[in-house]
Amino acid sequence: MKTKFILCAFCLLTTWAVAQDKYFTAPTDQPVTADAEGFVRRWTLLEPISKPNRTNTVFTDSYLREVFATEYFPGQMTLLPRDGQKVKARFEKVEMPKDYRRIDPATLKVQRGTETLRWHKLDSKTYNLKLMRFGEHYRQRLYGVIYWVVTVVRCEEDMTGVRLSVGSNSASQWWVNGTEALLLSGDRRMVADDAMSARLVLHKGDNVIRGAIINGPGMSDFCLRFVREDGTPVTQGFTIL
């Protein structure tokens, strides 16, 4: 039994090593730039919070604002997480039958509690961050989850009139320096530049970009960059810490 357990653990580690090599790398201590198309690839991600949703069609503006305004962990809108930092987070769980399409939501028993989750700082090898691959490893959670993500953009000078440009699967909400910049509602596939914010200012120095992505069934990923007035991506003038 002990040998079998060791072999299983080795297989899991090997599987993640392959996935990590394919999708993510551990960041260095040095700031990085956006990629050639302006996409921000360095993020600190919280292990996924369980939030069951039978379908993505429930992701209306009002639903999302209520869900994302709920405090799942202390400092949710102010914390600048460190790699490896732990938080106590609230979660919901339900026992889903095999044929979830035939269930009556009124009969589901929701379990609520708290658990310890960890932040992970990673560089993505692709322009879109594969949240599902990340969550699959750390919590074996593929569906019915919320991801919180944070990054810090350091600007050489003020950048005025830029727009936050995001694609996400599925719905998401985004804040720049604590102010809401963008809400992507509905059942979405991840498409680059799917939604853009109003004009905003990135100030000289550090700017905190914070996001929450929610999904029921299906894939989870996102991409983010800043664009100018003419729609061209911003690729210079800032680094990502």
**Measured distance CA(179)–CA(208) in Å, rounded:** 10
Q: How do strand 86-94 and strand 24-25 relate by DSSP bridges? A: unpaired
CA distances from 216 to 95, 104, 105, 142 (A): 14, 16, 14, 9
Mean pLDDT confidence for 16-32:
80
- Does pLDDT of 9 surpass 80? no
> Residue 29: how many CB atoms within 10 A of its CB?
5
- Does pLDDT of 55 surpass 90? no
Per-residue pLDDT, 140: 78
pLDDT digits (tens, 9 = 90+) for 200-228: 999 999 999 999 999 988 889 999 999 99
Per-residue pLDDT, 99: 55
Band (pLDDT 50/70/90 cuts) for residue 98 is low
2-6, 26-30, 56-60, 90-94: which has the minimum mean pLDDT? 2-6
pLDDT > 90 fraction of the chain, expressed in percent and rounded: 71
**Measured distance CA(47)–CA(151) in Å, rounded:** 15
Rounded to 5 degrees, what angle do the CA atoms 169, 173, 179 make? Answer: 155
CA distances from 211 to 13, 68, 103, 173, 195 (A): 28, 10, 31, 6, 14
Per-residue pLDDT, 123: 97
Per-residue pLDDT, 215: 93
How far out from the chain centre does Cα 162 lie? 22
Q: What number does CATH give the domain 25-240?
A: 2.60.120
The ranges assigned to domains in the chain are 25-240
Band (pLDDT 50/70/90 cuts) for residue 142 is confident
> Coil, strand or helix: which one is 89?
strand
Per-residue pLDDT, 137: 83
